[in-house]
Amino acid sequence: MQDSGNVIAAATKGIIDPLAKELDVSARRMYEMLGDQCVYPKSKRLIRAIAMHSQSGARLVKADLDAMFAEILTPNNTSRLSAVDLHREAYEAVSALLENKPFAVKKSELRELIAIAQLMLEGMDRQEAIRAV
């Protein structure tokens, strides 16, 4: 698991202006919202606290988040992925390891590889489900 700040920084790299426009705030305000005012680390803390007191409650939160991600990560996002994309991510991950880059870089590259592989698997699962019908 990455530091919440690193996750948000990586997830929003290069899209601050479109995010600000989507949320109808200035770019400066967007940076504030993603900085010390970011709800992501607070949400993670809350979910951990819920899990300490109620495993079923934590599972409910996870199920809801899984449903949201299934909705927003549409097949269109996975249909554009190719073996070239997978190869590029694998190369970057292996390169980071071989070049003995900082630990955070290695972890980030490996997570990106896992993410693209997971997206490709989800796309294949969807295709299999369609063919089975």
Q: What is the pLDDT of residues 67-123, one digit of tens each?
A: 777 777 765 555 577 889 899 999 999 999 999 999 988 998 998 899 888 888 888
Give the model's pLDDT for residue 40: 92
Q: Which residues contact 113 (CB under 8 A, 6 or more apart)?
A: 86, 89, 90, 92, 93
- Evaluate whether 112 touches 92 at the Cβ level (below 8 Å): yes
Give the model's pLDDT for residue 5: 80
Whole-model pTM? 0.55
What number of CA atoms fall less than 13 Å from residue 87's CA on the CB side? 3
More confident residue, 112 or 1: 112
Q: Is 88 exposed, middle or buried (0-12, 13-18, 19+ CB in 10 A)?
A: middle
pLDDT > 70? residue 1: no
pLDDT > 70? residue 54: yes
N-term to C-term CA, the chain: 37
Give the model's pLDDT for residue 100: 94
- Evaluate whether 75 touches 126 at the Cβ level (below 8 Å): yes
